[in-house]
């Protein structure tokens, strides 16, 4: 049986569960081809950890993503892919860490506050 490596990636409210298998660089997202799910720029962004390691054709990536929007899901896939690569080979940790792929992007949408129309915006002020 072939070796599978698993990791979870997160970005905003999106969560990606990523599995890596030795292969030829195929990307499957939610049982669909990656090119059908993401745009070309989002695929380039998501597969950047493989490009950094010069391992584009070495692994098949299979993942399920949910929550958030398409861009957040691509970021979650990128984070999960980097973590799965470290599970596959511990020697990948240093280049992925220096590239910033293992750091969870903690920026989230700020919540709306009461007495205001949005998170920070105020209602129009009238002195008189």
Residue 43 lies in a domain: yes
Residue 127 lies in a domain: no
pLDDT in tens, 38-78: 999 999 999 999 999 998 889 999 999 999 999 999 999 99
Residue 106 lies in a domain: no
Tokens of 49: 């950890």
Number of domains in the chain: 1
10 Å CB burial of residue 71 (0-12, 13-18, 19+) is: middle
Residue 19 lies in a domain: yes
Residue 15 lies in a domain: yes
Nearest CA to 63 out of 39, 89, 27, 96 is that of: 27
Residue 13 lies in a domain: yes
Asked whether the beta carbons of 34 and 68 are under 8 A apart, the reply is no
CATH number of domain containing 65: 3.30.230.10
Residue 57 lies in a domain: yes
pLDDT in tens, 86-124: 999 999 999 999 999 999 999 999 999 999 999 999 999
> 42 lies in which domain range?
4-99
Instruction: Kindly list the strands in the beta sheet with 4-11, ordered across the sheet, starting from the edge strand earlier in the chain.
Output: 4-11, 14-22, 59-66, 27-29, 32-33
């Amino acid at each position: 049986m072939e070796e599978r490596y698993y990791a979870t990636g997160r970005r905003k409210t999106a969560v990606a569960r990523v599995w890596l298998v030795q292969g030829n660089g195929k990307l499957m997202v939610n049982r669909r081809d990656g090119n059908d799910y993401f745009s070309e720029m989002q695929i380039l962004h998501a597969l950047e950890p493989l490009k950094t390691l010069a391992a584009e054709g070495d692994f098949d990536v299979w993942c399920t993503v949910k929550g958030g929007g398409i861009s957040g899901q691509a970021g979650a896939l990128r984070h999960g892919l980097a973590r799965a690569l470290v599970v596959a080979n511990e020697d990948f940790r240093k280049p992925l860490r220096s590239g910033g792929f293992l750091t969870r992007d903690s920026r989230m949408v700020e919540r709306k506050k009461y007495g205001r129309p949005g998170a920070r915006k105020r209602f129009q002020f009238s002195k008189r």
